[in-house]
Amino acid sequence: MAIQKEGKHLFGLVRVGERGQIVIPKKARELFGIKPGDSMMVLGDEATPFPGLALIKNDIYVEIIERIMATSDASDMEKDFVREILDAQKKGDNDDSN
């Protein structure tokens, strides 16, 4: 059995329901402070040989993007565009019904 690195977790297997839903294991929800109603950003990587998905709380994702934008050499117009998207996400204006 491999030794698990500190801060790395394997929470177990989940099944995708008919509507594409999964249940995040209780231990994962508790560890990461995920509560009902929280918005999660779904990230994907198609790169082979290990394509996959990852979830991150939306407020953390927004913070990461804001930090990147603060240090980037993007134009003011590009930064304004990204800020508009982030503001919409903060307000929950995005459609999560898919």
The DSSP line for 45-87 is E--SSS-EEEEEEHHHHHHHHHHHHHHS---HHHHHHHHHHHH
Q: How many domains does the chain have?
A: 1
Find where tokens 């779904």 sit: 42
Predicted local confidence at residue 3, as pLDDT: 62
Query: Is residue 12 a part of any domain in this protein?
Result: no
Residue range 13-25: mean pLDDT, rounded: 96
For residues 57 and 48, give the distance between their C-alpha atoms in angstroms, rounded to a whole number: 25
Query: Is residue 30 a part of any domain in this protein?
Result: yes
For residues 32 and 78, give the distance between their C-alpha atoms in angstroms, rounded to a whole number: 32
Could you report the per-residue pLDDT of 32-82, keeping only the tens digit for each?
999 999 999 898 999 889 999 999 998 888 888 888 878 878 788 877 877
**What is the reported pTM?**
0.67
Least confident piece of the model among 6-10, 73-77, 88-92: 88-92
Query: Is residue 86 a part of any domain in this protein?
Result: yes
Q: Is the pLDDT of residue 14 over 90?
A: yes
Query: Is residue 72 a part of any domain in this protein?
Result: yes
